[in-house]
Structure 1
Amino acid sequence: MSLSLTGEYDCKLDPKGRLVLPAKVKAALPDAYANQLVLVRGLEPCLVLYPRSAWDVIQARVMALDEFNEEYRQFQRNFLRGVTEVELDNIGRFLLPGSMRRYAGLEKEAIIVGLGNRCELWDPARYDDYLIKDPGEFSKLAQKFVSLSPDTPGSPALSA
Structure 2
Amino acid sequence: MVQLLGEFDCKLDAKGRMMVPSNLKKQLPGAEQDGLVVNRGFEKHLVIYPRKVWEEIVAELSKLNQYEKKTREFIRFFTRGATELTLDASGRVLLPKSLLEFAGIKSDVVLACQFDKIEVWAREAYEDLLDNEPENFANLAEEVMGNSNRRKDGE
Counterpart CA distance in 2 for 1:75 and 1:62 is 9
Which residue identity is paired with 2:74?
F
Show the 5 A alignment for 1:10-25: 10-25=9-24
Question: Contact 2:109–2:122 (CA<8 Å) still a contact in 1?
Answer: yes
Q: Is the 8 A contact 2:16 2:96 kept in 1?
A: yes
Supply the distance in 2 between the matched residues of 1:69 and 1:135 (Cα, whole angstroms). 36
* Alpha-carbon spacing, 1:29–1:114, altered in 2? closer, same or farther (3 Å): same
Equivalent residue letter for 2:115: G
Deviations along 1:26-51, one digit per CA (max 9) or x if unpaired, are: 10112x34442110100111000000
CA contact (8 A) 1:63 1:76 kept: no
| 8 Å Cα contact 1:110/1:123 also seen in 2 | yes
Q: Given residue 136 of structure 2, which amino acid in structure 1 is its aligned partner?
A: E
Give 1:152's aligned residue: none
Q: Is the 8 A contact 1:11 1:20 kept in 2?
A: yes
Percent sequence identity is 38
Unaligned runs of 5+ in 1: 150-154
Name 2:27's counterpart in structure 1: 28
Paired residues of 2:11 and 2:108 also in contact (CA < 8 A): yes
Other structure's SS at 1:82 match: coil
Flag as ranges the 4+ runs of structure 1 deviating above 4 A. Answer: none
Q: Is the 8 A contact 2:134 2:140 kept in 1?
A: no
Any residues of structure 2 matched to 1:120-139 within 5 Å, and which?
Answer: 120-131=119-130, 133-134=132-133, 136-139=135-138
2:124 match: secondary structure? helix
Structure 2: unaligned runs, 5 residues or longer: 149-153
Larger mean Cα displacement after TM superposition, 115-124 or 50-59: 50-59
Which residue of structure 2 lines up, in the alignment, with residue 83 of structure 1?
82
Question: Does structure 2 conserve the Cα–Cα contact (< 8 Å) formed by 1:111 and 1:121?
Answer: yes
How far is 1:126 from its partner?
1.2
Distance 1:138 1:18, change over 3 A: same
Name the structure 2 match of 1:48. Answer: 47
